[in-house]
Amino acid sequence: MQAWKQVVILGFAVLTAQVSFGQAGVVSIDTGKIQGATQESVEYFKGVPFAAAPVGDLRWRAPQPVNSWTGVRQATAYSADCMQVPFPSDAAPLGTAPAEDCLYLNVWRPAGTRADAKLPVMFWIYGGGFVNGGSSPAVYDGSKFAEKGVILVSANYRLGRFGFFGFPELTREDADGMVGNYGFMDQIAALKWVQRNIAAFGGDASKVTVFGESAGGFSVSMLLTSPLAGGLFSQAIIESGGGRTNLGGQRYLSTVVPNGPPSAESAGVDFAKSVGVDGTGKDALAALRHLPAEKVLGNLNMASMGQPGYSGPMIDGRVVVADPQSIYLSGEGWRVPIMIGANSLDIGFGFAPSKDALFAPFGVNRDKAVAAYDPNGNGDLRAVQYSVAMDRMMVEPARFVASVFASRGLPSYEYRFSYVAESMRSKWPGAPHATEIPFVFDTVSAKYGKDLTPSDEKIAQAMNSYWVAFAKTGDPSTGNTPAWPRYSPASDMLMNFTADGPIAEADPWKPRLDVTAAYVSGSAPPPAPKLPPHP
């Protein structure tokens, strides 16, 4: 009898192993049938095309429809990330080789999900300064979201000169004005794919939360303020994505027409000249489209993104009608629940040669700024400058956006990520830019490996649970974690993820953020155009 039990147990273990790692069911989407794979309690579908390959004559065009296929397409591996020069110190290294043919997305769902389940959906937008990034990094795996009953979708979007490029003939060529911000158009196309197809995976197209970090967070701001994004999502999360102006801290984004500095068209002409293409007409554009992808790419990445001949995101009049701050201040933008925050050692750029030069721009509030940032007068210039810069670029804009949404009566939640992985505490005095991502996805084991500690795992489980709760209900409080209060300017409460766990508290940085807000508000851009009514 004992031997028989052992055989049964062994057979069950083998069967379990076979079920844990196998094929997923076939799903029919609008272009054909796909089949993914199952890993433990999660099904995933990877490398699903949401737009035609943007190559040849489709380079620098709005994303085009995918041709349908017959039979069942296997969707078990990531497709190529978009064309880029990988960045050596990237917090999320790519899992695939980059290529120009890159408009693919990935879906994770609970195994066995019925088509009528109507599960909430989360749509992830990666960062990387619009020149790096992809959906394949291990830390972006959506399994933990799926385990908690959420469908996670991630999608690639074009980067660098492939994703953001102006040229006079492009403007003349497209009568609809869909020019310049091809990377943003890809994001919108992927969200439209979700609206058309997510029900086939058991998802609820009316319950889509967009979330992203850094350039991905700025992309969420773009979606919140773009006339073309209405009805594509119902909630938003911005992680270290600014919200005042663009990620470079400048007042205005580039324009697609050469009537204001800087001009994306002018940058495109400069690039053309640099690769031996003269003129601005049809022949010049044809020559640019026939350039090898490597020639268009050059050496552009996070370390060289300020080079001539690259504009980055721009005001095109269709996708982007103004910078986000202008639209927020004018009372426009899509009205949805929002969650937003930044890290305690977030990114910022400052080059003041002295403290006098650093504090001079605060004007009449100079003394308040000194008291907030350098109260003893003996702070290291670089450290003080970094605090001023990151507050201006990431931390104060997060509070600004939280305040805007709260003032409209919308659910608004602010966070600060101050947790530093235990293995990095001797090296990092705070939580650097992007370090919250593996905690949000609960993929800390992929990030920290053998150095992972129970404390790291506990914070990751808590953060992932908060993000899931927000996706499900519009409120991040879970019932099993400290309650996360709604943001209001009066109380200035946020959730601080610390070494002692999540702590709801009044913002301890209020004095310095107040003085930074006064400085930024004094140089606000003009009101933005009105958006059309929400569908």
Q: Are 262 and 254 in contact (CB under 8 A)?
A: yes
CA-to-CA distance for 534 and 319, rounded, in angstroms? Answer: 15
Q: How far apart are CA 205 and CA 125, in angstroms?
A: 17
From the list 64, 69, 41, the residue with the least C-alpha distance to 54 is: 64
Own/partner pairs for 483-492, CB < 8 Å, 24+ apart?
Answer: 484/413, 484/415, 485/413, 486/406, 486/411, 486/412, 486/413, 487/402, 487/403, 487/405, 487/406, 487/412, 487/413, 487/414, 488/406, 489/403, 489/406, 489/407, 492/399
Q: Measured between alpha carbons, how far is 366 from 489 in angstroms, rounded to an integer?
A: 23
Rounded to whole angstroms, the Cα distance separating 438 from 443 reads 5
The candidate with the shortest Cα–Cα distance to 211, out of 198, 203, 224, 220, is 220
Note whether 327 and 405 are within 8 A (CB).
Answer: no
Find all residues with CB under 8 Å of 188, minimum gap 6, and list them.
Answer: 223, 226, 228, 229, 232, 319
The residue behind tokens 């980067």 is 159
| Chain mean position to CA 453 | 27
Measure the CA angle with vertex 471, ends 73 and 436; round to 5°: 90
Give catalytic status of residue 214 as yes or no. Answer: yes
Neighbouring CB atoms inside 10 A of 227's CB total 16
| Active-site choice (135, 136, 214, 234) | 214
Planar angle of CA 86, 91, 93, nearest 5 degrees: 45
Strand partners, 44: 37, 108
Torsion of CA 509, 510, 513, 519, to 10 degrees: -150
Max CA distance (Å), the chain: 87
CB atoms within 10 A of CB 200: 15
Instruction: Return the structure tokens found at 107.
Output: 């879906």
Helix (H) or strand (E) holding 219: helix 215-225
CA 371 to chain centroid, in Å, comes to: 34
* DSSP-derived secondary structure letter, 469: H
Concatenating the DSSP letter of every residue in 381-405 gives HHHHHHHHHHIIIIIHHHHHHHHHH
Token couple for 79: 């497709």
Q: Which amino acid appears at position 479 of this protein?
A: G
The vertex-30 CA angle with 112 and 51, nearest 5°, equals 110
Catalytically active residues are 214
